[in-house]
Chain A
Amino acid sequence: MLDIKNLKAKLDEEDKQILNGINLKIGKGEVHAIMGPNGSGKSTLSKIISGAPGYEPTEGEVLLNGKNLLDMTADERAKEGVFLAFQYPVEIPGVNNGSFLRMAYNAKQKYQGNKELDPLEFEALLEEKLKLLNMDPSFLERSVNHGFSGGEKKRNEILQMLVLDPQVVILDETDSGLDIDALRDVAEAVNHFKNEDKAVIIITHYQRLLNYIKPDFVHVISKGSLIKSGSKDLALELEEKGYDWLVEPVKA
């Protein structure tokens, strides 16, 4: 479903290459974990896919069902079905969280030629999703992420995911800053969401989240290159041994 081919990228303002030709195929119904040390390029990959400012792909393509995402604007990519749960969701004072959700939902509905919902219809759609995440409806009355705790922000990301029902989900260190209850709620929501038509990419440092959401494949990125792929056992091995044995192999 998502096919990353020889993807190279750099920062807008520097010439230094930060992705050195990543190749990765992610099929329908699969869960892939991407791990690696700090600064290895894990988050850069998610930013290039979402079209974030400041990052520039220099070579390769990212195909979603055969369409190159890199040729689309960031909002088109989202409407085609790519969802990024941000590592640090930004605060947007003055913009009502409920209205924001509806605006996003209706943007997608419109794009796909479906009916847009009025506030009352939308409220009904939200009800069950809020319950799933143990979120109080008062969340909707606040400004987007404004003054939210770390856990509230992450729950809000997952709520957006449930509402927008994307095809490909990238969870960028969603487990960081979460207490154990929030981690469980988030993991359950993702498990509830995923099915044979969805693909999930989990970017993480730790095994913790992978105890709840079982990956089919685990990849290690280091210095902008994908250096190892394996099954979920690889994550356990990394938990035990760290990255050093992969990054700098002991010379014979």
Chain B
Amino acid sequence: MSQKKIEDIANKEYEYGWKTDIEMDISPKGLNEDIVRLISKKKKEPEWLLDFRLKAYRYWLTLEEPTWSKVNYPKIDFQDIHYWAAPKKKVTLDSLDDVDPELKRTFEKLGIPIVEQKRLANVAVDAIFDSVSVATTYQKKLLEHGVVFCPLSEALENYPELVKQYLGSVVPHTDNYYAALNAAVFTEGSFVYIPKDTVCPMELSTYFRINTEGAGQFERTLIVCEDNSKVSYLEGCTAPAFDTNQLHAAVVELVALEKADIKYSTVQNWYAGTPETGAGGIYNFVTKRGKCIGKGSKISWTQVETGSAITWKYPSCVLIGDESIGEFYSVALTNNFQEADTGSKMIHIGKNTKSTIVSKGISAGKSANTYRGLVQINKSAKGAENFTQCDSMLIGSKCSANTYPYIDVRNSSSTVGHEAATVKVSEEQIHYFEQRGIPAEEALGSIVNGFCKDVFDVLPTEFAVEANQLMELKLENTVG
């Protein structure tokens, strides 16, 4: 066994790196007002939404690309991206039988059945392929409970008032550079509406697939949960292995009214680029935020981030309602040349609001993993409580981990707790497993899973096993 044993466990080939060959309608590369109008027209949008987009686009033009994160990447050429890419065949969303068989096969291959009554029978799926949704399962069954689960474009047709009321209400286009860009060119996303006093009877899930080389994916998800309602939602993501880096800049907005409870989980496995140089990976620059507007409401973010060349995101909660609760549970694994700058923001406004942040960062290879978080307790948030735990694990000797916790407390009746630890997986630990007959790779998987347990325990059970396996795959060959 050689010295670099632990440094080589991670180079399992990316298993979703293939591409679907299908006739596509693709906009010319570049970004200008005409493209923004084109997207709006393709989607047959109402006038107010075109205005929303144009306002955002013009605002975006005034902004500079931010550079404050720890991540390093060459400057993005926004004129070198296709902002619209959709399968040519017309997609009718009336029946799942009408879905193009090629697309059905694509999602089947990804393990996402877009037929009902199959594996994951208790999960409704919205499948998004580049710029459009190709199918949404169990819509009818959900509607019987008053639950709306559909692509955003469909929601605009059927529930324009709801969309108009909430779109941009949590993440305004003025929020940041990528939020402005997304507001200008977003193409699809999921819309979820849970009416009063309703527990959503199924897990809801959106699966994002980027397929066209040189296309950006800009989706926008909006979840509104009315009084005394509850929903659990999961997003998954993959992309083919291309030679050029691709941009994914999404916005997710959550609205929780009185005693509403939203659980939002992400298993992110975008293509990370080649293990040798990191070329071709996804730039994942995402703005995710939830507003706990109602008293006693709760928003919980859980993320397992294993893919992308660069991940830059901070799922956040704005705790407005008294006694509202925000949670953030995160596992971020970086390997080879991946970089992640991720964490959470908890903004306490209401009285007796509570937040919890548990972040587990794992770095292997030559990767860099940064936790960045803000806990802000406003003067009005009397009796607020926060607990933060951010732990880092280092595998090998060429990776790095950083934590930047920002804490801002503006009253004297609040409690804030912060714990942090850094551990390094040692060769002695791996050898201990081996000497008991357990191979090195299983050993590392077991150590990493032990490290992530607090987070995996809060994932929806359907996906906890998947997350576990994903971690093991990602770490293969880190010990050689």
Residues of A within 8 A of B (CB): 12-13, 50-54, 73-75, 77-79, 83-84, 86, 89-90, 92-96, 100, 103-104, 107-108, 111, 143-144, 160, 164
Do A92 and B450 have beta carbons less than 8 Å apart? yes
Which of B426, B440, B449, B453 contacts A75, CB < 8 Å? B440
Which of B423, B428, B453 contacts A90, CB < 8 Å? B428
Known contacts: A54-B427, A90-B428. The answer to whether A78 contacts B436 by CB under 8 A is yes
Residues of A within 8 A of B67 (CB): none
In the complex, residue of chain B having the shortest beta-carbon distance to the beta carbon of A52 = B431
CB distance from A122 to the nearest CB of B (A): 14
Decide yes or no whether B442 CB sits under 8 A from chain A. Answer: yes
How far, in whole Å, are A96 and B437 apart by their CA atoms in the complex? 16
Which of A83, A92, A96, A164 contacts B429, CB < 8 Å? A92
Give the contacts of B435-462 with A (CB-CB under 8 A): 435-440, 442, 446-447, 449-451, 453
Residue in B428, B430, B432 with the greatest tally of chain A CB atoms within 10 Å: B432
Do B437 and A111 have beta carbons less than 8 Å apart? yes
CB distance from B469 to the nearest CB of A (A): 16
Decide yes or no whether B3 CB sits under 8 A from chain A. Answer: yes
- Other than the known A12-B3, A53-B3, A94-B451, what 9 A-B pairs have Cβ atoms closer than 8 Å? A50-B431, A53-B5, A73-B440, A74-B440, A78-B434, A92-B429, A100-B433, A103-B438, A160-B436
CB distance from A194 to the nearest CB of B (A): 20
Which of B5, B432, B433, B437 contacts A89, CB < 8 Å? B432
Give the contacts of B1-18 with A (CB-CB under 8 A): 1-3, 5
Do B434 and A96 have beta carbons less than 8 Å apart? no
Do A75 and B438 have beta carbons less than 8 Å apart? yes
List, sorted by A's number, 12 A–B pairs whose CB atoms are closer than 8 Å: A50-B431, A74-B434, A75-B433, A78-B437, A90-B426, A92-B447, A92-B450, A94-B449, A94-B453, A95-B450, A111-B437, A143-B450
In the complex, residue of chain A having the shortest beta-carbon distance to the beta carbon of B443 = A75
Residues of B within 8 A of A144 (CB): 432
How far, in whole Å, are A90 and B442 apart by their CA atoms in the complex? 17
Do A107 and B438 have beta carbons less than 8 Å apart? yes
Do B5 and A164 have beta carbons less than 8 Å apart? no
Residues of B within 8 A of A79 (CB): 437
Residues of B within 8 A of A53 (CB): 1-3, 5, 427-428, 430-431
Residues of A within 8 A of B450 (CB): 92-96, 143
Known contacts: A53-B5, A143-B450. The answer to whether A103 contacts B442 by CB under 8 A is yes
Residues of A within 8 A of B426 (CB): 90
In the complex, residue of chain A having the shortest beta-carbon distance to the beta carbon of B441 = A75
CB distance from A96 to the nearest CB of B (A): 7
How far, in whole Å, are A199 and B323 apart by their CA atoms in the complex? 65
CB distance from A62 to the nearest CB of B (A): 15
Residues of A within 8 A of B3 (CB): 12-13, 53-54
Residue in B5, B423, B439, B451 with the greatest tally of chain A CB atoms within 10 Å: B439
Residue in A50, A51, A73, A94 with the greatest tally of chain B CB atoms within 10 Å: A94
How far, in whole Å, are A92 and B428 apart by their CA atoms in the complex? 10
How far, in whole Å, are A53 and B204 apart by their CA atoms in the complex? 47
Residues of A within 8 A of B453 (CB): 94
Known contacts: A53-B428, A90-B428, A94-B453. The answer to whether A73 contacts B446 by CB under 8 A is no
Do B431 and A108 have beta carbons less than 8 Å apart? no
CB distance from B458 to the nearest CB of A (A): 16
Residues of B within 8 A of A13 (CB): 3
Do A74 and B431 have beta carbons less than 8 Å apart? yes
Do B432 and A86 have beta carbons less than 8 Å apart? yes
Which of A74, A92, A93 contacts B1, CB < 8 Å? A74
CB distance from B154 to the nearest CB of A (A): 44
Known contacts: A12-B3, A94-B447. The answer to whether A107 contacts B428 by CB under 8 A is no
In the complex, residue of chain B having the shortest beta-carbon distance to the beta carbon of A101 = B436
Residue in A50, A54, A74, A90 with the greatest tally of chain B CB atoms within 10 Å: A74
In the complex, residue of chain B having the shortest beta-carbon distance to the beta carbon of A80 = B437
- 9 closest pairs, A vs B, by CB? A94-B450, A74-B434, A104-B436, A53-B427, A78-B437, A107-B437, A95-B450, A75-B434, A79-B437
Do B437 and A108 have beta carbons less than 8 Å apart? yes
Do A92 and B438 have beta carbons less than 8 Å apart? no
How far, in whole Å, are A107 and B441 apart by their CA atoms in the complex? 13
Residues of A within 8 A of B427 (CB): 53-54
Residues of A within 8 A of B435 (CB): 50-52, 74-75, 77-78, 83-84, 86
Residues of B within 8 A of A77 (CB): 435
Do A73 and B431 have beta carbons less than 8 Å apart? no
Do A75 and B447 have beta carbons less than 8 Å apart? no
Do A73 and B438 have beta carbons less than 8 Å apart? no
CB distance from A109 to the nearest CB of B (A): 9
CB distance from A121 to the nearest CB of B (A): 18
CB distance from B342 to the nearest CB of A (A): 21
Residues of A within 8 A of B432 (CB): 86, 89-90, 92, 144
Do A51 and B434 have beta carbons less than 8 Å apart? yes
Residues of B within 8 A of A51 (CB): 1, 431, 434-435
Which of B431, B437, B442, B447 contacts A164, CB < 8 Å? B437
How far, in whole Å, are A143 and B447 apart by their CA atoms in the complex? 11
CB distance from B14 to the nearest CB of A (A): 26
Do B438 and A104 have beta carbons less than 8 Å apart? yes
Residue in A95, A103, A111 with the greatest tally of chain B CB atoms within 10 Å: A95
CB distance from B384 to the nearest CB of A (A): 30
Do B437 and A95 have beta carbons less than 8 Å apart? no
How far, in whole Å, are A52 and B451 apart by their CA atoms in the complex? 24
How far, in whole Å, are A164 and B435 apart by their CA atoms in the complex? 11
CB distance from A112 to the nearest CB of B (A): 10
Residues of A within 8 A of B446 (CB): 95, 100, 103
Residues of A within 8 A of B431 (CB): 50-53, 74
